[in-house]
Amino acid sequence: MNRNVILTCAVTGAGDTTGKNPHVPITPKQIANDCITAAKAGASVAHIHVRDPETGGISHSLDHFREVMERVREANVDIVMNITAGGGGDWIPDAQDPTRGGPGTDIQTPAQRHEPVSELLPELCTLDCGSLNFGDMVYVNPADWLREHARLVQAAGVKPELECFDLGHVWFARQLQQEGLIDGDPLYQLCLGIPWGAEADTESMLAMRNKLPENAHWAAFGIGRHQMPMVAQAVLLGGHARVGLEDNLFLKKGILATNGQLVEHAATLIDNLGGRVMTPAETRAHLNLRDPHSKHSSAPATGGQA
């Protein structure tokens, strides 16, 4: 069991959820406010996407990311910031010509995906470790794109969170490490319950955990009703955890959640299991993260690795 838990709050995501729960933040101000709320509720890390303020849909706007980061950094709270770098991979074949992307297709190059990371230098960013049948679309992330993206993240001095939606993604993430493209002890996120990747159950989590390198840090999450059970399972198997409205809209059946409520619920669950949630400062030291106040140094904020 892990008794010192890094708890991430994924505050908004990019999915079509804004019409299903009015608490899903849309504007940069709302997203920043939910990061601040998550921090006050006890989260160690805030994971952010940004949305089009007019439509609530997908956005890759550097200005939106910058506004969120500035608002959070200027607030009187501390939280580790984790920017998504996995957007721009959605492929939906056109109904008339399946060799072309149809409505909803959204593809970016590795350099385009990386732009907010290189400009804003968060402590963490995601690195999605492969392609996937993601519901009814295909998430596209070929191996050579991943290698290019890993090099960009490495050069920026930002620690990648290696997002693994299936066993093959864990395999390729290990390959990136063997090729020298991941510095230090790697950080894995096991993403469970997304059709059609790894299922949100103990067997899947354990199988993926058992394939991790010996020096790996790892966390896991489940979507929807699996969110809290996967928090408990991850902690019991020695990992860290993630909650938030990106992955789950409900506190319990029929009761819509806020990000603050999900963090509080997860923190209580961790406490009841005999663990505790790590502070942002402890998280930086444990993961050997860069100083969030420095635009140039990739040195850790406090001490070495725990």
Q: What is the pLDDT of residues 273-288, one digit of tens each?
A: 999 999 999 999 999 9
Give per-residue pLDDT as tens, 113-131: 999 999 999 999 999 999 9
Residue closest to 91 by CA, chosen among 139, 42, 134, 161: 139
Instruction: State residue 68's pLDDT score.
Output: 98
* Residue 301's pLDDT band (cuts 50, 70, 90): very low
Least confident of 26-30, 82-86, 96-100, 262-266: 96-100
Instruction: State residue 294's pLDDT score.
Output: 61
> Is the peptide bond between 196 and the residue preceding it cis, with omega within 30 degrees of 0?
yes
Tokens 């899903």 belong to: 24
Pull the structure tokens for residue 34: 């939910």
Give per-residue pLDDT as tens, 46-78: 999 999 999 999 999 999 999 999 999 999 899
- What is the average pLDDT score of the chain? 94
Q: 3-state DSSP call for residue 7?
A: strand
Is the pLDDT score of 304 beyond 50? no
Distance CA 111, CA 121 (A): 15
- Name beta bridge partners: 129: none
Instruction: State residue 295's pLDDT score.
Output: 53
Give per-residue pLDDT as tens, 89-119: 999 999 999 899 999 999 999 999 999 999 9
Residue closest to 286 by CA, chosen among 235, 244, 243, 239: 239
Pull the structure tokens for residue 64: 């939106």
